[in-house]
Amino acid sequence: MFSNKKKVILVISIPSLLLFLIFNQVSSQELRVVDGDTIHLNGEKIRFTGIDTPELKQTCVKEGFTEPCGITAKEILIKKIGDNKVECISEGKDRYERTLAECFVNGESLSSYLVRRGYAFAYRRYSKKYILDEDYAKANQVGMWSMEFDYPWDYRKLK
């Protein structure tokens, strides 16, 4: 009778263990935030479409003090993602072979979130999608809109 209990436990345990391992493999992801608008997700370099964030070395000035607005944009993205799963909808590739995509956490667009927080800009050269989010941030003096700054595309031209 004792060996029958072992067999039952073994028969139940093995499929449960396999199911657990399969689920964790599918639901886990390898994620690294590169900067405010670029991530590496499961080995793929993804650039958020339609927005532009300050470069990592870019600074802004608020009330006479220098703020690391590029680093802040990255930190806001890291905090927003947290331990959540990131899902992206690919929109093609750019000239650097990065995947262009809109990415979401719990159904919320990370691009829209960054623009509304004032640490990303609607990249009108490529998209008009985030203009209302930018108008909100600007009207409410949120994030970089409360500082003196260079647009990221202007900053890159100076470097």
Q: Which pLDDT tens digit goes with each residue over 94-144? A: 999 999 999 999 999 999 999 999 999 999 999 999 999 999 999 999 999
Output the six-digit token pair for 33.
């935030």
Whole-structure pTM over 0.85, yes or no?
no
pLDDT at 17: 41
Phi and psi at 30, nearest 5°, equal: -95, 115
Q: Domain map of the chain by residue range? A: 2-150
pLDDT category of residue 6 using cuts at 50, 70 and 90? low
User: Is the separation of the CB atoms in 71 and 58 below 8 Å?
Assistant: no
Topology classification of domain 2-150: OB fold (Dihydrolipoamide Acetyltransferase, E2P) (2.40.50)
Q: Which two tokens stand for residue 123?
A: 């990249």
Beta-bridge mates of residue 62: 65
Given this model, what pLDDT does residue 81 score? 98
